Amino acid sequence: MCLLGFTTSSAFGADTPTRVRATQQLVELLSGHAAHSAPAAGSPQVAFVRDSRPITGEQTTLPVIGRSTGPNATAWLKVMLPGRPDGSTGWIAKAGTRELITGWRILVDLGARRVAVYHDGHKARAFQAVVGKPSTPTPTGQFFVEETVQLGLGEADGPFALALSARSNVLQEFEGGPGQIGIHGREGLGGTLGRAESHGCIRLATASIDWLAARIGPGIPVKIY
């Protein structure tokens, strides 16, 4: 399953290979939330986000990129949303959430075919990767980790996969799933590190994805460029 089958201030746009923000605010959903186009309950609903993720059942955790106070002094959070279209955002009520903060983030350089991992604004590790081939390119933009999936022994993509909020721009579905992009291992798939050979996902050596899976959880920002 190379594509896994199953008042505003941006906290993303400033990240570059030479300037990476030290921390990112996150929010964990304690219940399902309607996401709106504006910080008001009467504004159009753009999505409904469940409080758990479909593969692992992990609590849904989203990056917070803005805050506002709406009618009746209701506190609102602008968040990144999973799924299509890529890079979607929406406003959710702060009630029924728990705020978190992380020092981790991931930058994926498609040209260099490398994944750089930052902690507290400093590069912690960098790994060679297999990225999407020209006919099924890896999408670019601002995304986040939806859930960390532990796969069975010998299962394709193993031993771990970080399921991202990104979706393929070419494959609307893949092996019965939504064309979801992941950072995962090469078990059962192969591919040469440093080459563009995948269906859009980012493949890493086993030691690299093991290291990532031990540290990276839901909500961690991922910039692909």
Q: Specify the pLDDT at position 2.
A: 43
Q: What is the CA radius of gyration of the chain?
A: 17
**Residue 105: CA count within 13 A, CB half-sphere:** 29
pLDDT value of position 151: 80
pLDDT of residue 55: 85
pTM score: 0.87
- Between CA 197 and CA 98 the distance in angstroms is 40
What is the fold of 104-224? L,D-transpeptidase catalytic domain-like (2.40.440)
Residue 123 near residue 105, CB atoms below 8 Å: no
Predicted local confidence at residue 61, as pLDDT:
98
Q: Please state the φ and ψ torsions of residue 162, each to the nearest 5 degrees.
A: -95, 105
Residue-level pLDDT at 156: 66
Residue 155 has a pLDDT of 66
Q: Quote the CA–CA distance of 153 and 28 in Å, as a whole number.
A: 30
User: What local confidence, expressed as pLDDT, does residue 15 receive?
Assistant: 61
Helices (H) and strands (E) in the chain, counts: 1, 17
Per-position pLDDT tens, the chain of length 225: 444 433 333 344 456 655 788 899 999 999 999 999 999 999 999 999 999 998 889 999 999 999 999 888 899 999 999 988 999 999 999 999 999 999 999 999 999 999 999 999 999 999 999 999 999 999 999 999 999 998 866 666 678 899 999 998 876 545 545 689 999 998 777 789 999 999 899 999 999 999 999 999 999 999 999
Domain boundaries along the sequence of the chain: 24-102, 104-224
What is the SS3 assignment for 2? coil
CATH class assigned to 24-102? mainly beta
Same fold, 24-102 and 104-224: no
Burial class (CB within 10 angstroms; exposed 0-12, middle 13-18, buried 19+) of 99: exposed
